[in-house]
Structure 1
Amino acid sequence: MTFARISSRVAGAVLGALLAVPFLTAQPAAAQSSIVIRDFVLTHGIYEREPVGTTETFASADERGYAFARIANDGSPTQVSFVWYYGDEMHASIDMNIGTSGGWRTWSSINLRPGNWRVKLQDASGAVIAERSFMVEHTGGASATSGMKDQSSNTPSSPSYGGWTGQHDGG
């Protein structure tokens, strides 16, 4: 092979690589989330759109467990999902709309049964933005919170999974 022929091949390869670079970098970047999680807690209930204490353990007599999120969203309205797991199996996925606000509050609840649980909060792209694990202990009798009424305007979202949700905008 002559020097001219090698130079021609190298020049062709370099030119081809340079032409490919704009196509590789011209791909749109993944959209960054405009939401910030201010608070993500587990609670025994919601009263006046706020969590009633926080916990990492529930009793089976509690009947329901709540995951509460306080979210700041300075971008366009978006969606988050509360994804509940019982052991390693997904139990329910509940989508919630999030408006533009510095203090959006939203929550989801689930019927409890003894065992290991976790709930993931995912953004619209499915990325996990917060996660909490908790235990439901088997107990007999009524719990301290079993008679408490939820004063929010929760509506059923996924009755087949026992999921209830509520969301409220606030400052």
Structure 2
Amino acid sequence: MLRKTIIPVVIFVFIISAGLVQAESGMQVAQVTFATAVEDRQPIGPGTSFPTTVERVYCFTAINGAEGEASVSHVWYYNDTEMARVPLSVRAAAWRTWSSKRIMPFWVGQWRVDVESADGDILTSKEFSIASP
């Protein structure tokens, strides 16, 4: 009796797992843009170097090719130290999403955002800097 129950459960878990892998397997990052704001789902004030007075930097990401519902994370690094990890849903084949990080005036130097899949694979990585005016 137990064996009759376990086999269907194992098959069900395998099918669900395969579907989740498929949902993310074709996913590609089409765009990563750093900006000072996002309005109407578009980055405003794009750049790769910002002054210490910026207060907040946005990481705008366009994803293509996701099948079904998937997710990515923006992982923010300052001088190679993780500062934030932001999970973001991807709910269509072509999806735009963003996160932001408050920037303290003394955080001068190199920043990086890794865009990671739900499995932790780095899909892409992009850098920006905070410089004294």
- Is the pair's TM-score, using the shorter chain for normalization, greater than 0.5? yes
Unaligned runs of 5+ in 1: 1-27, 140-171
Alignment partner for residue 128 of structure 1, among 94, 116, 122?
122
Instruction: Provide the C-alpha distance between the structure 1 equivalents of 2:113 and 2:49, rounded to a whole number of angstroms.
Output: 13
* RMSD (Å), alpha carbons: 1.9
Q: What is the percentage of aligned positions where both structures have the same residue? A: 30
Report how many residues are paired: 110
Residues 142-170 of structure 1, C-alpha deviation per residue, up to 9 Å, x if partnerless? Answer: xxxxxxxxxxxxxxxxxxxxxxxxxxxxx
Instruction: Provide the C-alpha distance between the structure 2 equivalents of 1:95 and 1:35, rounded to a whole number of angstroms.
Output: 16
Alignment partner for residue 47 of structure 1, among 17, 29, 39?
39
Task: State how 1:119-158 maps to structure 2 within 5 Å.
Answer: 119-139=113-133
Alignment partner for residue 55 of structure 2, among 46, 50, 63?
63
Structure 1 runs (4+) greater than 6 angstroms displaced:
none
Instruction: Provide the C-alpha distance between the structure 2 equivalents of 1:126 and 1:100, rounded to a whole number of angstroms.
Output: 20
TM-score, normalised with respect to structure 2: 0.75
Alignment partner for residue 102 of structure 2, among 111, 114, 130?
111
Instruction: Provide the C-alpha distance between the structure 2 equivalents of 1:73 and 1:134, rounded to a whole number of angstroms.
Output: 26
Unaligned runs of 5+ in 2: 1-16
Letter in 1 for 2:130: V
